[in-house]
Amino acid sequence: MTLREKERAELAEAFRTTEDRRLAERCQAVLMAARGRRPEEIAQDVCAGVRTVYTWLRLYREGGLAGLRITWAPGKTPLIPEAHAEEVKEWVRRGPQACGVARANWTYGTLAEHYARVKDVGISETCMRDFCHRHGIRPYRPTYRFLRGDPEKQARAAEEIEALKGGPARALSSA
What ranges do the domains of the chain cover?
5-68, 82-135
- Amino acid letter at 83? A
Total-model pTM: 0.48
Where helices occur in the chain by DSSP H, the ranges are 5-17, 21-34, 39-46, 50-68, 85-94, 108-119, 125-135, 145-148, 151-165
In this predicted structure, what is the pLDDT of residue 24? 94
User: Any idea what DSSP says for residue 74?
Assistant: -
Residue 66 has what pLDDT?
A: 92
Write down the pLDDT at residue 172: 56
> What is the per-residue pLDDT for 47?
92
pLDDT tens per residue across span 1-39: 888 999 999 999 999 999 999 999 999 999 999 999 999
Give residue-wise pLDDT tens across range 124-156.
999 999 999 999 888 876 555 555 567 887 788
Amino acid 153 reads K
Q: Is 55 exposed, middle or buried (0-12, 13-18, 19+ CB in 10 A)?
A: middle
The pLDDT of residue 164 is: 82
168: pLDDT strictly greater than 80: no
Q: What is the pLDDT of residues 67-110, one digit of tens each?
A: 999 888 888 888 899 999 999 999 998 888 888 988 888 999 99
The pLDDT assigned to 171 comes to 56
Higher pLDDT, 146 or 114: 114
Q: What is the pLDDT of residue 138?
A: 87
pLDDT of amino acid 156: 85
pLDDT in tens, 36-67: 999 999 999 999 999 999 999 999 999 999 99
